[in-house]
Structure 1
Amino acid sequence: MNPSGRILVIDDEAGMREAVGDVLEAKGFVVGRAVRGAEGLEQVRTMGFDAAIVDIRLPDVSGVELLKSLRLASPDLEVILMTGYASLPTALQAIDGDAFAYLVKPFEMDQLVATLKKALDRQHLARALRESEERYRLIAENINDAIFLMDTQGRLVFANQRASAITGYTTNELIGRPIFSLLTPEGARRVLERLGSAVSDQDSTAVFETHLLKRDGVLVWVEANMTNVRREGQVVGRLGVLRDISERKLTEQQMRLQTGALDAAASGVVITDRGGAIIWANPAFTSLTGYPVSEVMGRTLRLQKSGQHEPSFYRSLWESILSGQTWRGEMVNRRKDGSLYPEAQTITPVHDERGEITHFIAIKEDISQRKRLQEHLAQSEKLAAMGQLLASVAHELNNPLSVLTGHAAILKSTADPKIAQRAQKMVTAAERCGRIVRNFLALARRQPAERTRVALNQVVREAIELLAYQFRVDNVELRLELADRLPALTGDSHQLHQVIVNLLSNAHHAVHETPRPRSITVTTRPTADDRGVALEVADSGPGISPEAQERLFEPFFTTKPLGEGTGLGLAICKGIVEAHGGSLAAVSEPGQGAVFRMELPVDETAAETEASEESAEPPVRGQTILVVDDEPELAAVLAEFLAADDHRVDTAENGVAALDKLREATYDLIISDLRMPQLDGPGLYHEVARHHPRLLRRMIFVTGDTLGPESAEFLRESAAPTFGKPFAPADVRRAIRQVIHAR
C-alpha cells in the first residue's frame, strides 16, 4: 500500500528540491515546494502539511530559526532538517528545536523516505494518544466525583476540576501537595495507613469516609475510594476517587436528631441511551425497585409507571432533558412487586464532543422516610396550632365549669338530701367535662415533662374517656381489668396518657376492619416482683406478622396505608416508656390478636397506693382574702366558698383594681387568676413585689388552661401555690393551708 501524507520541501537549491519532490511523489506523497523560508511558512499556515523537509541554510532565514516558526504554526508538523555542512553545534540546535531528524547531504533517497515514514508514524501515534487522553479527560472532568492521582509518598500529581471545586484549591495548587494536608489529623493518619498498605500490597483497595479540609477552613465529609496504580507489576502510585457526601451526612444528622437513628439509603443509578433504553444500572437500582439488572436491560423506565401522573408530566420531563437541561423532581413509581413508593430523581443529559445528547444518567432515591417525616412535622404543626386554640377554649370553658361546680358544691351542703343528690350529679358531670378538656390539652401539650405522683388506673380511665365514643360507634367491646390498690408511680402523667391513647388507638385500628365480636382488654397489675406495675392492651384483631414485629418500634415503620400513618407513634411511645425507666413490648401470633405490655418501676420512696386518701385536716379560718378574677360569677362563687370557712373576702376584676384595693385595705392572702385583661396575674405579682413585699409569699394563683411555657416558667420561679379550674372547695382549702403553713 502506498504511503500517504502531505509533505513540504523547502530548499533554495532547485536540483535538490525537485529531486526530493519527485522521489516522494513517486512514493505516493502529496508534495509542496518552497524556495524561501517565508514562502514555506505561509504554505504551512494556509495549506497544512504533515511533515516538512527543510534545508538548514536558506536565503532569508536559517533552518533552525524556521523550525521554531513552523512548530508554532503547526504543532503536529514533523520536521526533518538536511544540510551539506554538518557540525555538532548545528545538530544540537536541530535537536533542541524538536526536529525529528537531521540528515547530512549527500544521503540516499531510501534513507530519506524511511526517515519520513518514521516521522509520520510518530505523528499518527501522538494524535491517537491525544485523542485517547481527551476521552479520559472528558470523563475525569465531567464526572461528579473528585479524582486524585498520588505517588507512593502521597503527593498529588493529578487532580480534576471536581477536585478543585470540592477543595477550593486550583488544580495547579493541588499538584505536589501532600494528600494529608487536605485532611484532619485523624483523616491524615488513616490515609497514611492506607498508603503504607498500598506500597506493601497488603490492601489494594480502600473505601472510607473522612473529613476534608477546604482551603477556606471549612470541613466537608467525603467518601474516598483508593486503588493501587501498577506499572510492570510494581505499585507506582494511588488513584483516589472522592465524593462529597456533606449533604448526605447533614441529612443523616438531622434525621438522627429527630428520630434517633436512620441509615442513608444508597441511590440507584441508571444509564440509558437517547431513546431511554436502559444500558446499565447499578445494584442499588435492584434494591430500590426489585428488578434484576439483567431483566431491565434494553427496556425503558416506563416499566415503573405508577399511573399517578398525567401524560403532561412525562412530556414536560422529556422536553426538559431533550433540550439539554438537568431535570430534578419527585414522582411516584412502581416496584416489581406492584407496591408504590415516592422517589426523588435527577436526570442529566450526557453530550458528545459535538454537543449532541447521546445518553441520560438517572439518579433515583427512595424518599418514603422523608415524606413520612414531613407528614409528621405537618401534623406536629397542626397539633401545636390546635393546642393554642384549645388553651383559649379551655380557659373559656373552665370558667363557667368552675361556677357550675361551685354552686353545685354549695347546694350539696344544704339539708335537703334530694337537692344534695342532684347537686352531686351536677358536680360529676362538670368534673367529667373538665377531664375531657384536660385530656385534649394533654395531647396538644407543649411544656417540658414534669414528674409527679401518678395514679396509673386514673390515667387509663381518662384515656378511655377520650376514646369511648369511637369504641361505641364501631361496636368495640372495651373490657377493664384494673387492679385495686395499685402502687403509685412517679412520672409525667401527660406523657403516659399519650402512650395509653396511642396503644388504644392502634388496638382500635387493628379491630376496626375485623368481623364482630370486636374487643379490647385493658389490664393493670403489679409486676411479679412487686417492684413495678404492668399495663396490657390486648385486641382481637388479625395479629402482627413476625416480619412486622421485628421492626414494630423502628421510626417511620408502619403497616398502615400510605398517608394514614407516620410510623412514629410506637417509636415515640417506646422512648417515653424507656425514659421512665420502663419497657414496652408486643406479643402476637397471626390471626390471634396482639398484646402490648408496658412495665414501669414503682417509686420505692412513695409507699402510697391509688386508693390512699390525703388525711383530712381542718380548714384554715378567719383570714382576710382578696379574690382577683375578671369573671364576676367565678369570683362570687370563690368568695362564697371562703366565707363558708369564716374568711373575710373582697373581690377585684383585674390586677389594676386589685392594686387599688391593696392601697385601701390590709389582706392576709391574695387569690388571683393568671389570665386577666389590663394587668394579669404575673403582672400583679411583680407589682406586689414592689409595693407590698410582705404579701409576695401569700399569693395563690388559679389556672384555667394547660400552662404555656411562659406561665409555667413564672410559676416555677415564684413557687406560688396553684389550683386549677374547675375547682372544688377542697382544692381551695389545700392551697390556703399550703400558704399558711409556709409562713
Structure 2
Amino acid sequence: MADLKKKDINPNQMVNSTSTLTDDLPIGIYRTTIEGKILYANIALANMLEYSLEELHKMSVNELYTSDKDRDSKIKLLKTISSQELNLKTKSGKIITVKDTVKTVKNNKNKIVYFDGIIEDISEKKKSEEALKESEARYKTLTEITIEGIIMHKGGIIIDVNPSAQKMTGYSSDYVKGKNILDFIHPNSLNFIKSKLNTGYTGSFEATIICADKSSLEIEIEAKNVIVNGDENRVVAFRDITNKKKYEEEILALSTAVKQSPTSIVITNINGIIEYVNPKFTKVTGYEYDEAVGKNPRILKTDHTKSEDYKEMWETITKGKTWTGEFLNKRKDGTNYWELASISPIIDENGMTIKYIAVKEDITERKKTEDALIKSEKELLQANATKNVFFSIIAHDLKGPIGNFTQVLNLLKDNFNDISNNDKLDYIHILSRLSLKTNNLLNDLLLWAKIQMNTLEFSVETINLKSLVSHSIEIVEEKAKEKNIEIKTHIENINLQINESSVKTVIRNLLSNSIKFSNTNSIIKISSKISKDSKSIEISVQDNGVGIPAEDVDKLFKIESSFSTYGTEKEKGTGLGLILCKNLIEKNGGTIWVESKENVGSTFYFNLPLSK
C-alpha cells in the first residue's frame, strides 16, 4: 500500500473502501494507529485470532502479543518496511505463529499515522519444518550411534558408511566410498548378493563379507530403498552374527538334550505360565505340547499339596534360589502320579529373573515301594504294640481281679463259720464286682482281638439313639451311685443305622471313664446334636473331673502309646478302652476325639452318620 501524502487521511473512508476488497481474502489484513489501536481487520484475521470483528475493533494490538519480547520485535519492525515471524495469542489462549508484513502509512507532512499489515498463520508450516529438522537430526544421530553397520549405495556404488560399519569391517569411510559393494562380499555369498542387489528386496538375509584384515565376518542384512534429497538410494543395515551363530549351535545341542531327556522339563515365564514342555512331559502327563503351553502348571495340581508348600516354593525361587520337593500330581486322564521336582530361576546378564525351569522325575514306582515299606513298618509296630498290650492285660489287668477273686473265696472258705452273715454278704458283693470287672475286661479283650483279626461279625440295624443311651447308662449306674455322681442326658429321639453292641460298648466305656475320673458329688452330661449339614449326629460325654495333661492328649486312641492312669479313687484302667472305642466308631463310619483341660474336665466326642 503506497504512502499517503499531500492531504490528511480520513480513516473511516479508508476502512470502508478497504473492507470491500479484503473481506474475502484468506489472509489477515489489518490497519492500526501508531498507538496500536486496531482500526480495521478483515474476517480472515478475526477468525484466525478467534475474535469477532467488533471485538477486534475495540482492542489494541498489544493485547495480542504473548510477551514483551514480541512487542519489542514489532516496534523494531515498524522502523523499516519488512516482515517478521511473531507469536500471537488467540482469544482462547492458544499461541499461533504468524508471518507479519507491515507497511507504514504517512500523511502529507511525512508523519506516520497508520500501520497496514498482512498476517499469515504459519503455525502448521513451522511445526512441519521443526518435525523435519528433528527427524533429520534423529536419523543422523541414530545412524551415528547405532551398533549396526549402515551402508548407503546407489547401483552398488558406496555413497556413505556409518562409524559402526567402519569399526566392524576395519575399512575407513574414505576407502570404501566410490567402490562397488560387491568388492567386499565373500565368494561364498557373491552370487546370492548379486541376485538381490538391484531388485528392491526388503527382507533380511545372511551373508559373509571380507574385512580389512582379510578375515571373514558372518552378518545379517536388512535393506530398503530410501529417498535422499529427491534421489533414490539403497540403505543396507547389517549386524555381526558370529556369536549368534555360536549360540544357535549351543542352543541346538541343548535343545536336543532337552528333547531326549528322560525327565520332564517345563519352562514358564515369571508369572508361572508354561512356555515350553519336552516330549517326556507329554509322555508322563498325557498333555500334548499345544495343550500345555499357555496354561498354568496347576492343571496338574491335586489337593494333596498344601498352599503353604506352594508359597514356600515361590518364596524360594523368587529369591533366585533352587527349590526341590515332591508333588502328587494329576495326569490328563485323572490318574495321580508322584514327581520329584527341581525348580530354578533363569537369570539374565543383569541378574534379573526372566523365566523358571522345572526338571521333574516321575517317582511313582519309588513312592509305591516306599509306601509299602512304611506300611509294613507301621503294621509291624502296631502288631508289636498290640502284642504288648495283650500280654500286659493278661499279665496285670486280668491277674489282679482274678487274684483278688481267689483271695476272697479262700477267705470265705477258711473262715466261713467265723464270719457274720453281714460280712459274708459284703464279701459276696466284692466277688460280684470283681467278676463283673473281669467279665467286662474279657469281653473288651475278645472284641478287640476280633477287630484286629478282622473276624468281628458286624451287622447294621435300625437303633433308637435315646433308648441305646438309656441302656448304656443302666450298665454303669451302680458305679455312679457309689461316687454320688448324677448322669444328665439330652439325647435326640432319632433312629440310626448302626451296630448296636459296638456303639453301646463305646458309650459304656466313655461313661465308665468319666465316672472313674470324676470326683464324688459331681455331674456327667451326655448329649447329642445333629450337624449343620444334617449328615451326621454328634454325641458327647462331658465331665468336670481331673482332666488330661496337654502332653498326654495325643497319646489317647493310639495302641503304641497304651496310655492309662488312675481314677480319683485309685481305680486302675487298662488303656484298652479308648483304643477299642476308636476302632468301633470307625467301623460305624464315624470319628472320635477329645477336648480336655487338666483339673477342669474332659469332653469326649464321636459322630455317627445319619440314615439317608
State the TM-score, normalized to the length of structure 1.
0.26
TM-score after normalising by structure 2: 0.30
